[in-house]
Structure 1
Amino acid sequence: MENFDFYAPTRMLFGKGKVTALPEQMKPYGTRVLLVYGGGSIKINGIYDTVQSVLTEAGFVLSELSGVTPNPRIDAVRCGVALAWENHVDMVLAVGGGSSVDCAKVIAAGACYEGDPWELVKDPSKITDALPVFTVLTMSATGSEMNPTAVITNPETKEKQGVHSGYLYPKASVLDPTYLYTLPAIQTAAGVADIMSHIFEGYFKKTEDAYVQDKFSEGILKTCIKWGPVALTEPENYSARANIMWAASMALNGLCGCGKAGKWSCHAMGHQLGAYYDITHGISLAIVTPAWMRYILSEETVDKFVDYAINVWGFPRETDKFALANMGIDATEHFFMDCGLPSHLSELGIDDSNFQAMAEAAVPYANLDTQAYVPLHVEDVVNIYRACL
């Protein structure tokens, strides 16, 4: 196990009705709040009214940035920064899924920076301060409610890039499983794929003796496999929503990946699909991940895939390790398909016309050729994309 620092300072307010505990967490930071949210579903399902009522009754003054899209764009961040300055806000509150939370985080940093906020995405070392960030989660996927990372897209340059800074940890996050009841099935499924991919990226690493982390990871994966289908067939099953919601936070708060060095592979490739085609992040990962698994399966990696097949999917040990490894990979792909997710890029109307450019961007973005679990060069990434057609 590698040396590591583990720090997860976000207060998690988990359970039905916990939004009423949010004002007490926000009061030390002021009264002026920038509310950041997406396309308006929170107004339809009543969450917007609930949050607004709780905060205004507690004496907070709200300004708003609405319309944050999936794969949040830098233009929305710029608008949010302008609103933060104009209204002299003390903090930023995201109500929504990972896109709203990520947008809010970079707004919070941009409000304390004199230059263009895209500079902060490109070079997070320029983040030297940020407004306090709070979240009310309405979708479980990214884990952004409990980590210091955001992902922002620049459509003009076709870049989708992550930014990581200790200043971006939310101060507190509200996780009410009932807020997930009205999610469309495709968003629930994509969220489960996203959670599982976060685990895969930490699970499949060269570090061999991080036993505790691997057992955490296997447990969270089994949670997704057990409760994801239940959430899809019984949208108002509280246990299913609660377990998936907590799994998302645990998958990417550093717990499972600490002590395991190396860069992520599928996210680097998935981000390029988001940058070029604006597809839902979890869907891109559900398509790319099985293809990546098959591509990197070798004598050097087969034992890890055997562990995965046995400990996560429950397959009995067999003498043919490669057959067992492929059973685990096939089960992963079939699980995503059974959840209603596409398994090929061609189903989304994507052809190979941009694969070379996407691969040339993905490799240096994540140092895939030197720091990935299995090093990937440009031609390897192109081949994986082609396997996804």
Structure 2
Amino acid sequence: MLNFDYQNKTRIVFGKDTHKQIGSLIKPFTSKVLLHYGSGSIKKNGIYDDVIRSLKEQSIEFIELGGVKPNPRLSLIHEGIDLCRKEKIGFILAVGGGSVIDSAKAIAMGVPYDGDVWDFFAAGKHPDTVLPVATVLTIPATGSESSIRSVISDEKTQRKLGYGDEKIRPVVSVINPEIYFSLPDFQIACGVCDMMSHIMERYFTNTTHTDLIDGLSESTMKTIMKNGLILKRDHTNYDAWAEVAFSGTLAHNGFLNLGREQDWACHAMEHEMSAIYDVAHAAGLTVVTPAWMKYVYQTNLPMFVQFAVNVMGVEGSFRDQEWIALEGIRRLEDFYSRMEMPLSMKEIDIDSENFELMAKKATGFAFGKENKIGGLKKLTWEDVLAIYQLADR
């Protein structure tokens, strides 16, 4: 186990009707907020009205900025930064899923900064100060409600990059499983598979003696899969949503990577896919993850055997280690299929034309200096190209 230093300032308020408390929860921080949201679905399902009522009850002034899209755009973030400066706003309230929260975090970094907020994502800059952010989570998936991460896309350069900093963890996040009852099948499936990926990026490691975090990770993955399949049948199962929503937060709040080297190659590869083709992030992950596993599993065969046995329920003799590992990957693909998620580049309309470009961008080779990606196995751009080709079936 490696050394670690962990803290998490996010207050999680979980349960029925908790979103109606948001005004009183943020009142100690501010009397004026930027209310940031997505396409407007919160106005159809009543969440918007509940949030506005709660803000008004606490005499909190609000300025609205909607329009966040999946793979949140830098252009809207620039608009939010300008709006906060003009209106002298010092607090961001994000009501939405991961894209809305990531956009809010980027705005929070950009308002006090003299340069372009993209500097944090592309140029290695770090903010001295950020605006506080609170969230009402409407789509459990990314774990951004309690994480140090923000991922945004620059439409002009077709780059999708992430940034992490303790300063951008939300100060308070509300998670009400009742809100998720109206989510469509595809969003449920994307959320579930995104959570799984966040754990697997941490789980597959060469670090040894991590039994506790291994076990917690395995239990969380099994919980997600079990309850994800329940939600495919019954969108209004509160208990299943509670399990999935809490798992999504745990999957990405940093706790499950304590004491271990992480990987994140699949996310790096997928970011280049969705930057060019604007595919749903989780859909890209279900395509590239099994291909990555097939390419790297022999690097640490015991780790993939452990995954197959403890998470995917594979049984076999000690002599069948390679078969067990491959059967675990096959069962993961089967789970993705049961969730009706894609497994090939063709299913998400990505052809081989840009494979080499994406591989070189993922590793930085296209920008003059290659930085191998991944932790379990360090991948060159040629390795990434081979994985893309393996997923092109």
Q: Please, which moves more after superposition, 123-132 or 329-338? A: 123-132
Does residue 312 of the first structure (1) align with residue 314 of the second (2)? no
**Residues in 1 aligned to 2:113 and 2:332: alpha-carbon distance in whole angstroms:** 43
**Displacement after TM superposition at 1:368 (Å):** 6.0
Residue type at the aligned position of 2:195: I
**Residues in 2 aligned to 1:81 and 1:143: alpha-carbon distance in whole angstroms:** 23
**Residues in 2 aligned to 1:32 and 1:267: alpha-carbon distance in whole angstroms:** 36
* TM superposition score normalised by structure 2: 0.96
Question: Which secondary structure does the structure 2 equivalent of 1:93 belong to?
Answer: strand
Among candidates 374, 382, 385, match of residue 385 of structure 2: 382
Structure-1 residue corresponding to 2:372: 369
**Displacement after TM superposition at 1:20 (Å):** 3.1
**Displacement after TM superposition at 1:121 (Å):** 2.0
**Displacement after TM superposition at 1:122 (Å):** 2.0
**Displacement after TM superposition at 1:189 (Å):** 0.3
**Residues in 2 aligned to 1:232 and 1:388: alpha-carbon distance in whole angstroms:** 25
**Residues in 2 aligned to 1:11 and 1:370: alpha-carbon distance in whole angstroms:** 33
What is the aligned length?
388
Where do 1:200-211 residues align within 5 Å? 200-211=200-211
Question: Which secondary structure does the structure 2 equivalent of 1:317 belong to?
Answer: coil
Where do 1:161-200 residues align within 5 Å? 161-200=161-200
**Residues in 1 aligned to 2:312 and 2:74: alpha-carbon distance in whole angstroms:** 40
**Residues in 2 aligned to 1:70 and 1:367: alpha-carbon distance in whole angstroms:** 28
Residue type at the aligned position of 2:362: A
Residue type at the aligned position of 2:76: A
Aligned residues: CA RMSD = 1.5
**Displacement after TM superposition at 1:342 (Å):** 1.1
Where do 1:223-242 residues align within 5 Å? 223-242=223-242
**Displacement after TM superposition at 1:296 (Å):** 0.6
**Residues in 2 aligned to 1:367 and 1:50: alpha-carbon distance in whole angstroms:** 49
Q: Please, which moves more after superposition, 66-75 or 15-24? A: 15-24
Structure-1 residue corresponding to 2:339: 339
Residue type at the aligned position of 1:207: T
Contact 2:20–2:50 (CA under 8 A) maintained in structure 1:
no
Structure-2 residue corresponding to 1:4: 4
Question: Which secondary structure does the structure 2 equivalent of 1:301 belong to?
Answer: helix
Deviations 1:166-218 (A, max 9, x none): 21010000000011111111011011111000111111011011111111110
Deviations 1:351-379 (A, max 9, x none): 01111111011123997626521111111
Contact 1:368–1:375 (CA under 8 A) maintained in structure 2:
no
Contact 2:359–2:385 (CA under 8 A) maintained in structure 1:
yes
Structure 2 spans left out of the alignment, 5+ residues: none
Describe the shift of the 1:367–1:323 C-alpha distance in structure 2 as closer, same or farther (beyond 3 A).
farther
Describe the shift of the 1:263–1:328 C-alpha distance in structure 2 as closer, same or farther (beyond 3 A).
closer
Contact 1:158–1:275 (CA under 8 A) maintained in structure 2:
yes
Contact 2:21–2:54 (CA under 8 A) maintained in structure 1:
no
Q: Please, which moves more after superposition, 372-381 or 235-244? A: 372-381
**Displacement after TM superposition at 1:386 (Å):** 1.1
Describe the shift of the 1:375–1:221 C-alpha distance in structure 2 as closer, same or farther (beyond 3 A).
same
Contact 2:102–2:152 (CA under 8 A) maintained in structure 1:
yes
Describe the shift of the 1:370–1:148 C-alpha distance in structure 2 as closer, same or farther (beyond 3 A).
closer
Structure 1 spans left out of the alignment, 5+ residues: none
Question: Which secondary structure does the structure 2 equivalent of 1:126 belong to?
Answer: coil
**Residues in 2 aligned to 1:141 and 1:370: alpha-carbon distance in whole angstroms:** 24
**Displacement after TM superposition at 1:313 (Å):** 1.5
Question: Which secondary structure does the structure 2 equivalent of 1:196 belong to?
Answer: helix
Describe the shift of the 1:124–1:130 C-alpha distance in structure 2 as closer, same or farther (beyond 3 A).
farther
What percentage of residue pairs aligned between the two structures are identical?
39
Question: Which secondary structure does the structure 2 equivalent of 1:129 belong to?
Answer: coil
Describe the shift of the 1:370–1:191 C-alpha distance in structure 2 as closer, same or farther (beyond 3 A).
closer
* TM superposition score normalised by structure 1: 0.97
Contact 1:145–1:170 (CA under 8 A) maintained in structure 2:
yes
**Residues in 2 aligned to 1:329 and 1:368: alpha-carbon distance in whole angstroms:** 27
**Residues in 2 aligned to 1:244 and 1:306: alpha-carbon distance in whole angstroms:** 25
Describe the shift of the 1:371–1:31 C-alpha distance in structure 2 as closer, same or farther (beyond 3 A).
same
Structure-2 residue corresponding to 1:286: 286
Describe the shift of the 1:320–1:158 C-alpha distance in structure 2 as closer, same or farther (beyond 3 A).
same
